[in-house]
A = this chain, B = another copy of it.
Amino acid sequence: MPSKVNLDSALATFAEHWVPRTVAELNDYDVRIAKLHGEFVWHSHPETDELFLVLSGRLRIEFREGAVELGPRELYVVPKGVEHRPVADEEVHLLLVEPSATVNTGTAGGARTVPRRHL
């Protein structure tokens, strides 16, 4: 049987920004946590939606037209194929749910791409 995950304890184990940690698995989906600060790259995931739930801080998800701003206990599902860019003007603690094969930079690739990583 799996163990429970305390999100605050899990968040306390790392400080890096933009490197999600998988803390649990749900069928072929990952539950990931991440710390964000600054601007990420424009990217999209043509094969999947992506769930963002803000745990602390304020996250802006920019789209080519418009943006959504999320505070603590607010969630948003970015639809598959929609280009987006997460921006955190202050540090954000985030929970993500997405298929385990999902790459952080989607099809954009580049230097900000990181491999799937368990806590």
Give the B-binding residues of A (Cβ under 8 A).
1-2, 4-8, 23-27, 29, 31, 48-51, 53, 55, 63, 66, 68, 70, 73-77, 79-80, 82, 95, 97-99
Contacts and interface: CB of A to CB of B under 8 A. Distances in A.
Given A31-B51, A63-B1, A97-B97, A77 B24 contact: yes
Copies of this chain present: 2
Helix, strand, loop or mixed for chain A's interface?
A: strand
A75 B2 contact: no
A5 B49 contact: no
B7 A77 contact: no
Given A73-B55, A75-B31, A68 B4 contact: yes
Contact of A74 (B4, B74, B77, B97): B4
B49 A27 contact: yes
Contact of A26 (B4, B5, B23, B49): B49
A55 B7 CA distance: 11
Given A31-B51, A48-B27, A2 B74 contact: no
